[in-house]
A and B are shown apart, each in its own frame.
Chain A
C-alpha cells in the first residue's frame, strides 16, 4: 500500500489491468435464449400481466374482439363486403402477432438478465460449513443455516459459505466468480478492503475464520442475482411518466375511435367494427408501448455487461442526468502507482547521499512507490550499508504521514510528506534547510509528489515521485464537457501539484489536500445548486459520500459498508468506468426518447393510409396520397407495418442508439432528423411497399 503520502481518501486497490482482459467471466449462456423468449412471449399473454401495459392491453382486447368477428362477422350488425371472414381473420392474426412481438421484446431483454443470473446462481451451491461454536468446538452445518454473527472456519479448497468479515488468519481467495479477475486476492483481518469475503468465492490457500455478515438469501450474490434477473425491477420515474402519457394518448385515440362510427353513420359512410379496431391499434403508440420495458431492461443489462451491478434502473437513469463527476485523482485520473523519478538534494548533501537515505528508508516498503525508490537508488549505485535483520520497519499511517526504518544504534531514517518530515526533524531538534521549499515547489510544479527524506534531525533532500496521467483521459473529459458534465478532481496532493495535474488532465475543478469530509462537502455543495453528482469510492470512510451522491459507484474491492451505501458496484474496481456508466445512462434515455418520437411520428402515415379509404361514401379518396390499392389492403398494410416495426426495432431497443458525445442541441438535431423525420417518412414507404405486395398476392 502507498505508504507515505497518499491522503486517507486516496483509493487503495490492487493494480488493475486493461479492461478488455477482464470481460465478464461468469459464463453467460446465450443458448436457448430465443426459444425461452418465445415461450415467455406466450405466457405473458395472460391478462393479469398484460394489464400492466395499457397500450398492449388494448391491442389484446382488440384481438379478442376481431377474433369473435372472424367467427361471426355480423356480430355487431351486418356489414357489407366480401370475404369478411378472411379479412377479419387476417386482422386478428396481425393484432395477435403485434401483442406477441411486444411480449417477445420484453422476454428477450429479460432473458439476457436471466441467463446472467443463472451463471451467478451456479456459483452458489449449498455447501457444508464448519461453524465455530461458543465452546470452541466445530459443528458441520449447511451453509443455508448460517445466520448473521455466526463464525465459521474455512480452509484451502472450501467455498466460502456466505458473506463475512475475516477475523483471523491470512489466506488467498479466488474471487473470479464475481469479479472475473483470475488472480487470487489476499485476505486478512483488520484491514478496510482485504477483510471482507463474499459467499461463493473459493479459498485457495491457508485458512480463515470468518464472521458471517449476511443472513441466507441476503448475501451479495443473492442481491446480484435478483438485480440482474429483474426480479426487483420497478419502473423508473421517467418510465412511469412516459407510461402515463402513452396511456392518455391511448385514451384520446380510444375516444376518437369510439365516437367515430356515430359520426360516420350520420354521413352515411358506416365503418365496420373490425376496421375501427384496426384503426385504433394503428394509432395508439404500440411501437414504444411494446418496446418500453425492453429498453429499460436492456439498459440495466448493458450496465451489467460492463461488469457493473446497478441496484436499480433509477440509478442508471440518474446517470444520464449527472452534472458533476467527483473523481479521485489516484487510480482514476492517474495510474495508481507513482514512480520515483529523481532525488533532489538540499543543503550540502549530494544526490548519492539522498539516494542512500531514501533507500534505507524504503527497504521495508512494499508499495509500488517504495519499490520504485529502491530501484532508482540501486540504479544510482546505492547498496545496503547496515544489517538488514537488525533494522526495524516504521509503517505508514494516515496520522504520521511518513514511514521509514529504525536502524541499529538509534539511527532513524524517514521519508514522507514534506510537512510531516519537517515536523519530524523539528522534534529531533534539527534545522529546516532553506532550499527545501524550492525543491518542494519544483517537484510540485512538475505535477509530481515531493517526498522529503531525513536521517535523524537532518533533511537530505526530496524524492520526486512522478504521477502518470492515464492515456486518453483528457479526451474523455473533453467529451464530458461537451455533454455538459463537469469533473472535479479530489486529491491529497498539495495545491501546486494538484493544479498541475488538473491542468494536464483537463478536469474542470480540483480540491487539493482533500479529506473525506471534503468529498461529502463538495457533493452537498453541488447538489445545493441543483446538480446531480456521481462519484466512486471504496473505503469505509467513503460510505457517507457514496450514499449522498446521486450515483455512487463502489469498487468491488471496497468495503462492505461502501458497497451497501452505493447504488452501483463495479466488479472490476475500475473507477474510470464511471465515465462509461454516464454514457450508458444517456444512451438509455436517448433510446427511449428516439423510439417514442419515432412511434408518435409514425401516426401521420398511418392516418393517411387508413382514413381516406375506410369512409368509402365520403368521397375523400383523393387524400389517399399513397395510392393504396383498396380499403382492405390499406388497412392490412398499415397493421402489418405496425406489427413488424416492433421486431424490427428490437435490436435497436436492446443495443441502444449509438451514443455520441455531442452537446444537447447537436444531439437533438441529429436524433430528430433520424427518428422524428425518419418516423414520418419511413412508414409511408413501408406501407406502400407492403400494399404493393398484398395487392400482388391478391389479398387486398
Chain B
C-alpha cells in the first residue's frame, strides 16, 4: 500500500516542480520573448509564415480569431474524413484495411479535430498506418495547438492584451512546445521499448505452437503527442494498457507527467501574463487540492477492492485488479484514471468500467467540472470563467459592481460566461435521457442498472467535455452513438471556444478601473476558497442527481451486499 501511495506522491511532486518552469517557458513563447530554441526555430517559423502568408504582427479581433479557428478546423476535418474514407486506396496499409463506415469515419474525424479522440473503433483493425499517421496524428498536433491557442488568446484578453493571431499561436504551439517535447519524449519511449516501425504486423509461432498476429506500427511518435496534447486516442484499441503503447512503469510515469504538464503549467503562464504569480499559485493549489482528494478517494477505493468479492471469493483483503494491468497495479491505474479525466486527455491504462464506484464518481466529477486542470488551453480558461462567476456573485458584497483584474463584469460577460455552464446540461443530459429512454434499441449497455446509467452518461460527458475516454462496456460503434456523440463533441468544443474568445475580446477592450482599498482582490486565499465553493455549487451540484443515480447508488448497492 505504501509503495502505491509513494508512486502517486512522487509523480505529483515531479509535476509540481515542472509546472512553474514550464508555465514560464510557455509565457515567454506567447509573449514573443526569446527562448532557448530561438535560433533554431526562428528561420523555420519565418519560412512557415511566409509560405502560409500569415502576417505575423497582425492581431485578430475575437470574431476573426473565431473565424480562423472554425475555418481551419473545418478544412482539417474534411481533409481527415476524406483520407479515412480513401484509406483503402492509399499506401502504408500493410493489413489492407478498407474504408470504415461513413459514420465511424465522421465520428473519428470530429473526435480528433475537437481534441477529444473518442474512439468507437480499435486502431489496429480499423485504420491503416497512413490514416493513423497522416490523418489522426496530424490532428493530434493541430487540435492540441488549437486548444492552447484559445487558452492563450483568452489569457491575453483577460489581462487586457489584444488577442493575437490564431495562425501564429497555432504555429508557435507546435514549433516551440508540442513538437520539441514530442521529439524528445518519443526518443525516450523508443529507448523504453515502444515500437516505431512501418513494418506489417509480426506473425509469430507461440510456445504452444499456434500462430499469432502481433500488431505493431509507428507507435512511439503517436504515443507521446497523444499524452502531451491531451488527445488520448490510442494507436491500439486498448490504448495505454497495451504493452506496445505503455510497456513499463517508466513509460507510465512519463505518460502521466506529459498528460498533466501543459494544463498544470498554463496556470503559471497566466500568472506571468497577469503579472500575479501569487494568484497563479493560489489557483494551482486550489485545483491541486481537489485533484488530490479525487486521486485519494479513488486510490483508496481501488486498494480496498470490492468488499463483496473479497469476502465471498478471496476471503481476505485484495485490491481491485479487475480491468487493470498488473504491471501498473491499483495505484498507478487510479492516478492515471483520475488524471486522464481531469486533463481531458482520455487515454486509459486500465478499464474504467471496472473501477470501483468511487472511481466512476471521480472520473465523472472531473469531466463535469472540466477545470481540475482541464482540457488543453480551455481548462485554464474555464477556471477563469468560474473566477468571473464568483466575482460576479460574491463581488457585490464588497459594495462595488463586480470587476475582475480591474475590468467590469457586465451583462455581455455574464451572458458569455454562463453560456459555458449551459453546454454540459444540453450536450450531456439531453442525449443521455434519449438514449436511456430506448435502452434496448439505442444504448447497447452491457451492465444494466446504475452502472449502465453511468456508462451512457459517461460516454456523452466524455464527448461533450472533449475528454475521449470511454467507460467502455458500451456497444458504441453504432450509427446512433457515432452521430449523437458527434453532436456532443462539436457542441462541447466550439460553443465554449466561441464564448471564451468573445469574452476575452470584450475584456481586452475595457477601460481598466484602478485598484483601491475598495477593490475586491482576487489573489487572496479567501477569494480562492470562495471560488472553490462556487465551483462546487455551480459545477457539481447540477450533476448531483446524475451522480446520485449512477456511481453513488452503485456504491451503496455494493455496500449493502
* Bound Cα distance A592, B421 (Å): 22
Does A90 reach chain B (CB closer than 8 Å)? no
Q: A248-B421, A320-B400 are in contact. Are A262 and B433 (CB under 8 A)?
A: yes
Interface residues of B in 46-75 (CB under 8 A from A): none
B553 and A252: CB pair below 8 A? Answer: no
Can you list, as one digit per residue, whether each of B107-150 has a CB less than 8 Å from chain A (1) or not (0)?
00000000000000000000000000000000000000000000
Does A548 reach chain B (CB closer than 8 Å)? no
* Bound Cα distance A607, B512 (Å): 39
Interface residues of A in 601-642 (CB under 8 A from B): 601, 603-604, 607, 611-612, 615, 618-620, 622-623
Select one of A238, A241, A260, A483 contacting B517, CB under 8 A: A483
Inter-chain contacts of A287 with B (CB < 8 A): none
Select one of A253, A267, A585 contacting B542, CB under 8 A: A253
Does B392 reach chain A (CB closer than 8 Å)? yes
Closest to B414 in A: A241
Interface residues of B in 493-522 (CB under 8 A from A): 511-514, 516-521
* Bound Cα distance A267, B516 (Å): 55
Interface residues of A in 299-324 (CB under 8 A from B): 317, 320-321, 323
Smallest CB–CB gap between A541 and chain B, Å? Answer: 28
Interface residues of B in 426-446 (CB under 8 A from A): 426, 429-430, 432-434, 436-437, 439
A587 and B399: CB pair below 8 A? Answer: yes
Inter-chain contacts of A668 with B (CB < 8 A): 394, 397-398, 520, 526-527, 530
Inter-chain contacts of A586 with B (CB < 8 A): 399-400
A667 and B397: CB pair below 8 A? Answer: yes
Closest to B544 in A: A607
**Chain B contact residues: helix, strand, loop or mixed:** helix
Q: How many A-B residue pairs have CB under 8 A?
A: 212
Interface size class of A (residues with CB under 8 A): 35 or more
Does B395 reach chain A (CB closer than 8 Å)? yes
Q: A237-B410, A263-B545, A620-B556 are in contact. Are A663 and B518 (CB under 8 A)?
A: yes
Inter-chain contacts of A664 with B (CB < 8 A): 398-400, 517-521
Which one of A224-232, A457-465, A670-678 contacts B? A670-678
Can you list, as one digit per residue, whether each of A261-278 has a CB less than 8 Å from chain B (1) or not (0)?
011111101000000000
A263 and B436: CB pair below 8 A? Answer: yes
Closest to B553 in A: A618
* Bound Cα distance A607, B545 (Å): 9
Select one of A240, A241, A242, A485 contacting B516, CB under 8 A: A485
Select one of B389, B521, B533, B545 contacting A260, CB under 8 A: B545
Select one of A251, A263, A484, A587 contacting B518, CB under 8 A: A484
Interface residues of B in 399-424 (CB under 8 A from A): 399-402, 406, 409-411, 413-415, 418-419, 421-422
Does B89 reach chain A (CB closer than 8 Å)? no
B429 and A259: CB pair below 8 A? Answer: yes
* Bound Cα distance A242, B545 (Å): 26
Inter-chain contacts of A593 with B (CB < 8 A): 393-398
Select one of B394, B422, B548, B560 contacting A612, CB under 8 A: B548
Inter-chain contacts of B521 with A (CB < 8 A): 664-665
Does B303 reach chain A (CB closer than 8 Å)? no
Inter-chain contacts of B415 with A (CB < 8 A): 244
Does A596 reach chain B (CB closer than 8 Å)? yes
Does A434 reach chain B (CB closer than 8 Å)? no
Inter-chain contacts of B9 with A (CB < 8 A): none
Closest to B389 in A: A245
Does A531 reach chain B (CB closer than 8 Å)? yes
Closest to A528 in B: B511
Does B557 reach chain A (CB closer than 8 Å)? yes
A321 and B400: CB pair below 8 A? Answer: yes
Interface residues of B in 513-558 (CB under 8 A from A): 513-514, 516-521, 524, 526-527, 530, 533-534, 537-538, 541-546, 548-549, 552-553, 556-557
Does B450 reach chain A (CB closer than 8 Å)? yes
Select one of B434, B524, B543 contacting A665, CB under 8 A: B524
Inter-chain contacts of B410 with A (CB < 8 A): 237-238, 241
A263 and B546: CB pair below 8 A? Answer: yes
B401 and A238: CB pair below 8 A? Answer: yes
Does B453 reach chain A (CB closer than 8 Å)? yes
Q: A241-B392, A668-B520 are in contact. Are A263 and B557 (CB under 8 A)?
A: no
Does B180 reach chain A (CB closer than 8 Å)? no
A256 and B414: CB pair below 8 A? Answer: no
Interface centre among B396, B526, B557 (most CB of A within 10 A): B396
Inter-chain contacts of B432 with A (CB < 8 A): 259, 262-263
Smallest CB–CB gap between B236 and chain A, Å? Answer: 32
Interface centre among A238, A258, A667 (most CB of B within 10 A): A238
Inter-chain contacts of B545 with A (CB < 8 A): 256, 260, 263, 611
Does A255 reach chain B (CB closer than 8 Å)? yes
Inter-chain contacts of A241 with B (CB < 8 A): 392, 409-411, 413-414
Select one of B409, B453, B517 contacting A266, CB under 8 A: B453
Can you list, as one digit per residue, whether each of B289-323 has a CB less than 8 Å from chain A (1) or not (0)?
00000000000000000000000000000000000
Inter-chain contacts of B395 with A (CB < 8 A): 593
* Bound Cα distance A607, B548 (Å): 11
Does B201 reach chain A (CB closer than 8 Å)? no
Does A589 reach chain B (CB closer than 8 Å)? yes
Does A669 reach chain B (CB closer than 8 Å)? yes
* Bound Cα distance A694, B395 (Å): 38
Inter-chain contacts of A381 with B (CB < 8 A): none
Inter-chain contacts of B537 with A (CB < 8 A): 600-601, 603-604
B513 and A259: CB pair below 8 A? Answer: no
Smallest CB–CB gap between A523 and chain B, Å? Answer: 15
A244 and B401: CB pair below 8 A? Answer: no
* Bound Cα distance A253, B542 (Å): 7
Select one of B429, B527, B534 contacting A256, CB under 8 A: B429
Interface residues of A in 79-94 (CB under 8 A from B): none
* Bound Cα distance A596, B512 (Å): 26
Q: A244-B418, A259-B430, A323-B516 are in contact. Are A676 and B400 (CB under 8 A)?
A: no
* Bound Cα distance A238, B391 (Å): 13
Does B449 reach chain A (CB closer than 8 Å)? yes
Smallest CB–CB gap between A272 and chain B, Å? Answer: 15
Inter-chain contacts of B527 with A (CB < 8 A): 668
* Bound Cα distance A249, B541 (Å): 12
B436 and A262: CB pair below 8 A? Answer: yes
Smallest CB–CB gap between A259 and chain B, Å? Answer: 4
Which 7 A-B pairs rank lowest in CB-CB distance, beginning with the nearest? Answer: A484-B518, A593-B396, A586-B399, A484-B516, A262-B433, A248-B418, A593-B397
A to B CB contacts below 8 Å, 18 in the list? A241-B392, A241-B414, A242-B392, A245-B418, A249-B421, A256-B425, A263-B436, A483-B517, A485-B518, A586-B399, A590-B399, A611-B548, A622-B556, A665-B398, A665-B521, A669-B526, A671-B394, A676-B533
Told that A597-B397, A618-B450 touch, could you supply 15 new A-B pairs with CB distance under 8 A? Answer: A241-B392, A251-B422, A259-B429, A323-B513, A589-B396, A590-B396, A594-B396, A600-B537, A601-B537, A611-B548, A615-B548, A615-B549, A618-B553, A619-B556, A620-B548
